[in-house]
């Protein structure tokens, strides 16, 4: 059941690939809340994923775009305003990919071409998106732009690799652009730092099952699900948060404020044997 939080609002949602995607849940909820939307993803993702089914279900259009292409970003905002009939009220950036993670290159053995791609796809794309929108004056006064991020931007998490650097840049772009866009057009720019979530991107993270379990044990409220993340996005897109901007907002069941919990401590009883070499030294990597 919706609350009509987004009644009459227009939105653009980047990054819905399949039913597990956080952006998928956000798109479904945004329409339930009364918004009209467009969806965007790469041509490849549209071919391989289920975004066209989602578009059918929600009666909306999909605009193919590679988020690393500035021209594609311009086109998404121009087309979205045509299709939806006016300025855009909310935007979700739900895009992340690291070729280093995919190719199992560790952080002390990065391929630098891959690193540039990680940063371009996962962080600089956010800048391109906002710059393209701003130059067209595509976002309405008090519009809301949200990107999804992860705690590894601030604290080192095993296995998160160069995505940690990309997320740190992403969060910084939210602050830097949030100042400019807020000052000139009252547009809000925030990041939501989400719990580990079982999605296509999430499952690429080294040891995701155990990371998921650890975060769940550490968080007094347990991990936040993709559905719950979508609920939080609704509030951030709505008029209830008109003065919230330039923030990194933790949506993680309390994980970010924890040092150690009883439930997490209990897992240490299992030991680190499987990570030791024959001399008892721990193998990191």
Residue showing tokens 């004056």? 137
Does residue 67 interact with ligand NAD by CB under 6 A? yes
Which CB sits closer to ligand NAD, 198 or 272?
198
Token pair in block for residue 120? 């371009």
**Whole-Å CA distances, 260 to 151, 253, 263, 271, 273:** 16, 14, 9, 17, 21
Binding to ligand NAD (CB under 6 A): which residues in 86-105?
94-97
For 222: left if phi > 0, alpha if psi spans -120 to 50, otherwise beta; the answer is left
Residue of 11, 178, 202, 253 that binds ligand NAD (CB under 6 A): 202
Q: Where are the alpha helices (DSSP H) in the chain?
A: 22-32, 43-48, 51-58, 70-84, 99-102, 112-119, 125-135, 163-185, 208-218, 226-237, 262-267
DSSP 282: B
Which of 98, 49, 48 is CA-nearest to residue 27? 49
Does residue 199 interact with ligand NAD by CB under 6 A? yes
Residue 36 CB, shortest distance to ligand NAD, in Å, is 21
Does residue 81 interact with ligand NAD by CB under 6 A? no
Residue of 60, 119, 121, 139 that binds ligand NAD (CB under 6 A): 121
Which CB sits closer to ligand NAD, 88 or 97?
97
> What is residue 52's three-state secondary structure?
helix
Does residue 26 interact with ligand NAD by CB under 6 A? no
Which CB sits closer to ligand NAD, 67 or 91?
67
Token pair in block for residue 176? 């830097």
For 283: left if phi > 0, alpha if psi spans -120 to 50, otherwise beta; the answer is beta
Does residue 45 interact with ligand NAD by CB under 6 A? yes
- To the nearest 10°, the Cα dihedral for 56, 61, 62, 64? 150
Question: What order do you get walking across the sheet with 61-64 strand by strand?
Answer: 61-64, 36-41, 10-14, 88-93, 139-149, 188-194, 248-251
Task: Mark 141-180 with x for binding to ligand NAD (rule: CB under 6 A) and - for no binding.
Answer: -------xxx------------------------------
Does residue 15 interact with ligand NAD by CB under 6 A? yes
Judged by CB under 6 A, the stretch of 16-24, 174-182, 239-247, 254-262 that binds ligand NAD is: 16-24
Which CB sits closer to ligand NAD, 75 or 186?
75
> What is residue 64's three-state secondary structure?
strand
Does residue 11 interact with ligand NAD by CB under 6 A? no
Residue of 194, 223, 247, 248 that binds ligand NAD (CB under 6 A): 194
Task: Mark 246-265 with x for binding to ligand NAD (rule: CB under 6 A) and - for no binding.
Answer: --------------------
Residues that bind ligand NAD (CB under 6 A): 15, 17, 20-23, 41-42, 45, 66-68, 94-97, 121, 148-150, 194, 196-197, 199-202
């Amino acid at each position: 059941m919706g609350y009509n939080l987004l009644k009459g609002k227009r939105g653009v949602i980047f990054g819905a690939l399949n039913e597990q995607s956080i952006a998928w849940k956000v798109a479904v909820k945004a329409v339930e809340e009364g918004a009209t939307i467009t969806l965007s993803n790469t041509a490849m993702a549209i071919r391989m994923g289920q975004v066209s089914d989602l578009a059918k279900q929600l009666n909306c259009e999909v605009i193919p775009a590679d988020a690393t292409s500035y021209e594609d970003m311009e086109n998404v905002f121009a087309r979205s305003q045509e299709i939806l009939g006016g300025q855009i009220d909310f935007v979700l950036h739900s895009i992340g990919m690291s070729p280093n993670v995919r190719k199992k290159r560790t952080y002390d053995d990065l391929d630098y071409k891959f690193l540039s791609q990680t940063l371009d796809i996962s962080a600089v794309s956010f800048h391109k998106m906002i710059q393209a929108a701003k130059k067209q004056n595509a976002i309405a006064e008090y519009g809301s732009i949200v990107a999804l991020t992860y705690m590894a931007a601030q604290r080192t998490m095993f296995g998160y690799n160069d995505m940690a650097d990309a997320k740190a840049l992403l969060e910084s772009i939210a602050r830097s652009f949030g100042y400019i866009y807020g000052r000139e057009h009252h547009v809000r720019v925030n990041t939501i730092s989400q719990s580990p979530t079982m999605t296509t991107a999430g499952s690429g993270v080294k040891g995701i099952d155990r990371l998921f379990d650890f975060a769940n044990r550490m968080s007094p409220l347990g991990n936040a699900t993709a559905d719950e993340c979508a609920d939080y996005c609704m509030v951030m897109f709505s008029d209830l948060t008109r003065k919230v901007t330039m923030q990194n907002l933790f949506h993680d069941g309390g994980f970010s404020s924890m040092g150690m919990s009883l439930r997490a401590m209990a897992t240490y009883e299992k030991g680190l044997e499987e990570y030791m070499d024959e001399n008892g030294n721990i193998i990191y990597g």
